[in-house]
Amino acid sequence: MAAVPVRPPSARRALLAGSVGNFVEWYEFGVYGSFATVLAARFFTPDGGDRAQALIAAYAAFAVAFFFRPLGALLFGRLADRAGRRPALVLAVSLMAGATALIGALPAYSAIGALAPWLLTVLRCVQGLSAGGEFGGAVSLLTETAPPGRRGRHGAWQSFTVALGLLSGAGLAAGLATLLSESALYAWGWRVPFLLAVPLGAVALWLRLRLPESTPPPPATPPPHQRPDAPAPAGVPGSSRVRGGAGIGWAVVVGVGRIMGWSAAGYTFLVVLPSYLQATLGTTFQQALAATFVANLGFAAAILPAGALSDRVGRRAVMLTGSVLVVLSALPLLHLLRDPAVSVPAKAALLAAAGAMIGLLAGPGPALLAEMFPTRVRSTGLGLAYALSNAVFSGCAGLIVTALVRHTGNPDIPAYYAAGACALAVPALLTLRPDDHLRPLR
């Protein structure tokens, strides 16, 4: 009996269902980054333990989860490419919400001893699996259902909901730090944001279960002059899209190179910043969270305009601009943040500008990756490229920056890390065709 064709979801419904899961996924990452010092004290510090070493251990658990992302990208990506986007997205958000809520209910080191950090790490690994599967399915859904000429804008919603998730996590952490005493925050207040994953996950699950799509939509046949294998116009370098098994593998490698600056600089300035400001600059917990909130506001404000701009001028131009700006400004920015003569409003503006530079990378990034892979392997390919980049350059950011600052005493390490990754991304971005944003998905 022939399968009954299923009507693809409308662009609006796909946008909502694809974005809400990203919000839940990244809300948790924002909460973990904001409460890293609290989690270090509750789970990684026996009585009389070294707090700096505990913070490194907390970031190690954060980093280990990222190395489960490529596995999640492969498992969930194959499910999405074979069975459809919806089953993979439903499973991903269910796992993330469940693991996040369990972290909120997890006994601390004082209650169960050395088992506490191990259980926390296991739950982080489950989150890594689900986060690895989330990106590929969500971006595939968003870009495949986008109206003509709006792939960049629709793909940018993935990054925008990431920003909203990070903002919500940091904002809730800042609010709790303001309302609660330090003892109450360390005793039970930190659990509240993790437990909120239950209602948030339920909403995301409900929206995704309402998606009618069950199989990847077949690509439309473009006119001959717009086909992916059509000859490049005069003066334009060869296509940055690739074909075949070996070509798909190479596309993953190239994709990692193109977004490594986004991964490294994004996590350095948007997630690692609170603990860095506390441990290195001596700011209070509330001040560090406020600074992170401002940086994420700048990030969120730039994402959708950057995605829309990339639909007009190309992914390459926008992402190269963001990468070069990070290279040139990362070190001066940290110096100004440490300067006591710089006013608080000026520092807030600097933090917002730093976030906006990352937004120039995050806005076009999802569409850029989607345009590199054909429909039959899109979820797997772009998810794997994103997961590998995040595993190496994002998940290790807190561990590398904290350890190097501690051992060298150099407070400029975060700037070197972010600027170095963006500098290395520039050659990979230069291999993009200027007209890739105009060509149809394969």
Say what the pLDDT of residue 235 is: 35
> Predicted confidence band at 358 (pLDDT cuts at 50, 70, 90)?
very high
Q: Which of 18-32, 39-53, 410-424 has the highest mean pLDDT?
A: 410-424
CA distance 377 to 390: 20
> Predicted confidence band at 221 (pLDDT cuts at 50, 70, 90)?
very low
Reported pTM: 0.78
Say what the pLDDT of residue 50 is: 67
Q: Which residue would you say has higher pLDDT here, 342 or 243?
A: 342
pLDDT > 80? residue 87: yes
CA distance 66 to 418: 18
- Tens of pLDDT along 132-180? 888 888 888 888 888 888 999 999 998 998 888 878 887 888 888 888 8
pLDDT > 50? residue 348: yes
Say what the pLDDT of residue 11 is: 67
Say what the pLDDT of residue 19 is: 81
Segment 378-391 shows an average pLDDT of 90
- Tens of pLDDT along 225-266? 444 444 443 333 334 555 545 577 889 999 999 999 999 998
Q: For all residues of the chain together, what is the average pLDDT? A: 82
Q: Which residue would you say has higher pLDDT here, 237 or 281?
A: 281
Q: Which residue would you say has higher pLDDT here, 198 or 248?
A: 198
Say what the pLDDT of residue 274 is: 65
> Predicted confidence band at 128 (pLDDT cuts at 50, 70, 90)?
confident
Segment 364-381 shows an average pLDDT of 92
Tell me the domain boundaries of the chain. Answer: 11-216+239-437
- Tens of pLDDT along 294-306? 888 999 999 999 9
pLDDT > 80? residue 97: yes
> Predicted confidence band at 9 (pLDDT cuts at 50, 70, 90)?
low
Say what the pLDDT of residue 366 is: 95
> Predicted confidence band at 47 (pLDDT cuts at 50, 70, 90)?
low
pLDDT > 90? residue 42: no
The class of domain 11-216+239-437 in CATH terms is mainly alpha
Q: Which residue would you say has higher pLDDT here, 424 or 435?
A: 424
Say what the pLDDT of residue 335 is: 87
Segment 397-404 shows an average pLDDT of 77
> Predicted confidence band at 13 (pLDDT cuts at 50, 70, 90)?
confident
Q: Which residue would you say has higher pLDDT here, 181 or 5?
A: 181
